[in-house]
Amino acid sequence: MPGLKDAMKYAYSNTRVKAMESKLVSRETLERMLAAKDPGSIAAMLLQTEYKSDVERFGGVKAMGTLVDFALSKNLGKEISKLISIAPKDQRAIMIAIVGEWDIGNIKVMLEAVASKKRYEDVSEYIIDTKYAGLSIAKEATAAKSVDEAIAWLTLHTPYAEMLDSALDAYKRSHSVVEANAALEQSYYLKLGGTIQRLSTIDREAAGLIRSRIDMRNVLLLLEAKKHRLDFSVVSGRILPNGTMQTGALEKLFKDAKDAGELAASAKAFGLKQAAAEYAASGTKPLMIFEIAMLNEIFRKALRSVRHSVLSFGALVAFLYLKEVEVFTLRILIKGRSYGLSDTEIKGMISWLK
């Protein structure tokens, strides 16, 4: 049971998280959005939620078809920054390290844009507007003439110099932005290991959520490789550290499975047997079936944690993942309706709504 010390440390942050959690889009609203006939109707419903100011900023209902990603990304970025600000001061560095995942994702988009000669306008909708590597950073970085020039600029203007050095070394060796981004991720997740260890002493359930996220990324990597009949050695260097499944276990899982479905069903970090059956029955064999199933498990864990955590750091981490899943869900609803998908097809991509 939490004591007086926990009450003093977490009372403010947990009260704020409970208030933020109460403003998440309700299941009932999401189901009404699912029944909407066009993206504009969904946008109109969003105007009755916490997304109101962001939807209005990017053109409101009329612009929803083209600018939805900007509105959703802006809102997610604000919530991420808010979690940093409300975390207890002596644990704020932990939250900054955890949300760095979104900064690293943004930087990868920036480097890929420079490598493919895309403009800021071409990729800005995919940038989560975070505090340390958001839209303003992206605008400058994507103006670079080369990948190494972009990395050099980002090294000076973000708190990820050490990780970007790894990316630059990889790029100089390979001249491949794919290898640079893989090195960037590896460096980030290696450093995150220390954060996870520290967090384990504070809140084991919160640390477990982060490890589950890493497991999901690694399982998806192996599924992609298995589907395309690649050798384990091709992807082994891209396995992220500090999940619950270590490299040796992942290699055995990969080599013992005859196909992607069998690999998923055998991944002990998740319960994917039902997803494997759906995959086997599918004609197109989309790996998204597994991604949705794993995200669904993480969602349930996060929801349970944020609802039942009392005066703990775990409530902040759990809300972070709930918010991400909400944005993921809204994107599916709006994009699915834009592309003319049926209610059944859209709902199939939001398994926790079933």
Of the pLDDT bands very low, low, confident and very high (cuts 50, 70, 90), residue 171 is very high
Q: What is the pLDDT of residues 117-159, one digit of tens each?
A: 999 999 988 899 999 999 999 999 999 999 999 999 999 999 9
Positive or negative, the CA dihedral 298, 17, 353, 40 is negative
pLDDT recorded at residue 44: 86
Q: Taking the CA of residue 205 as centre, how many other CA atoms within 13 Å lie in the half-sphere pointing to its CB?
A: 20
Q: What is the token pair recorded at 326?
A: 């909400």
Mean pLDDT of the chain: 90
- CA–CA distance, 97 with 15 (Å, rounded to integer): 22
Of the pLDDT bands very low, low, confident and very high (cuts 50, 70, 90), residue 65 is low
pLDDT recorded at residue 271: 94
Are the beta carbons of 242 and 189 closer than 8 angstroms?
A: yes
Domains located in the chain, CATH noted = 90-203 (1.20.1690)
Q: Higher pLDDT residue, 93 or 334?
A: 93
Q: Which of 310, 299, 313 is nearest to 195 (CA)?
A: 313
Q: Which of 347, 321, 317, 296 is nearest to 24 (CA)?
A: 321
Long-range contacts of 224-233 (CB under 8 A, 24+ apart): 224/287, 225/254, 226/254, 226/257, 226/259, 226/260, 226/263, 227/259, 227/260, 227/285, 227/287
Answer whether residue 2 shows pLDDT above 60. no
Q: What is the token pair recorded at 85?
A: 């600000």
- CA–CA distance, 59 with 339 (Å, rounded to integer): 20
Q: What is the pLDDT of residues 83-112, one digit of tens each?
A: 999 999 999 999 999 999 999 999 999 999
Q: What is the token pair recorded at 178?
A: 């794919």
Its pTM stands at 0.85
Of the pLDDT bands very low, low, confident and very high (cuts 50, 70, 90), residue 1 is very low
Of the pLDDT bands very low, low, confident and very high (cuts 50, 70, 90), residue 316 is very high
Are the beta carbons of 166 and 111 closer than 8 angstroms?
A: no
- CA–CA distance, 144 with 30 (Å, rounded to integer): 41
Answer whether residue 354 shows pLDDT above 90. no
SS (H, E, C) 271-295: CCHHHHHHHHHCCCCCCHHHHHHHH
Answer whether residue 62 shows pLDDT above 70. no
Q: What is the token pair recorded at 16?
A: 């704020």
